[in-house]
Amino acid sequence: NMISLMVDVVGRDERRPWLGDSFTDEIQSLCYLYDFAAFGANEEQVILDAMGPDGSCPGQLRNANKSGASSAAGWADACVTTPFFLAMNYADRKTLAEGYAGAKKFIDMIFRNNTNYVPGRVYGGTFGDWLSSPKTLAPGASSWSDVGKQTAPADFFAAAWWTRSARLTALMSEALGREKDAGLYAGMSEKVRAELLRKYRKPDGSLANGSQSVYALALDFDLLDEKDRKAALTNLFRAIE
């Protein structure tokens, strides 16, 4: 294992510094449970060093990106979530300012390649809904074949992450006094969210394929209007059952 970077489970020989498991899903927990300020700031610098000159970000820190490389939604977004949560938990304005430059390049890169506010080109759901129900067994299952079947659609997953990352970038802009940028990225977030709902919200209020992850993402990432949240929570409970 690399002592200066987060790597995946020690029980596997792979042990690569993937970003999706720790720095998008779990970074708030890391900041809350551990004295993570210095370690996180170092990881953020490595993320910045690994980003391509066009703003693309790799899914793991084994190699640096080249211009035109793809960015996996939910993994590459670590270049946004890392400086944001370090600033939120430790008031680390240095990492915030340095990380904001990377986050801005990243969000600009996504929009430059997807001006219709629908992800798919360069940025998409490459790995997708990695830790969803297909990776779990239901209580009382009698064999390993009884895993769940549905995941969040890749396009839904990517749009959800773009919506969230653009919103976090807007908040970083505001914290740094960049009001024009804050308005730009907040507006972008809303337009991506609107396109997502236009495509995936059904007349009865249900979303996409109705999987657990669809509703979990919708609720956690604030993809829904307030009036639709209660129905989404009910649908999430129904999907779990």
The per-residue pLDDT for 210 is: 87
Residue among 217, 104, 69, 106 nearest 154 (CA): 217
Residue among 73, 74, 163, 57 nearest 117 (CA): 163
Residue among 202, 131, 130, 195 nearest 159 (CA): 195
The per-residue pLDDT for 184 is: 98
| Structural tokens at position 212 | 């657990």
Cβ-proximal residues to 154 (8 Å cutoff; 6+ apart), any chain: 124, 125, 126, 128, 129
In this prediction, the residues of the chain whose per-residue pLDDT falls under 50 are: 1
Contact 191, 170 (CB under 8 A): no
pLDDT tens column, 28-47? 998 999 999 999 999 999 99
Long-range contacts of 134-142, Cβ-Cβ distance < 8 Å, separation of 24 or more: none
The per-residue pLDDT for 62 is: 76
The per-residue pLDDT for 17 is: 84
Q: CA angle at residue 73 from 160 to 107, to 5 degrees? A: 80
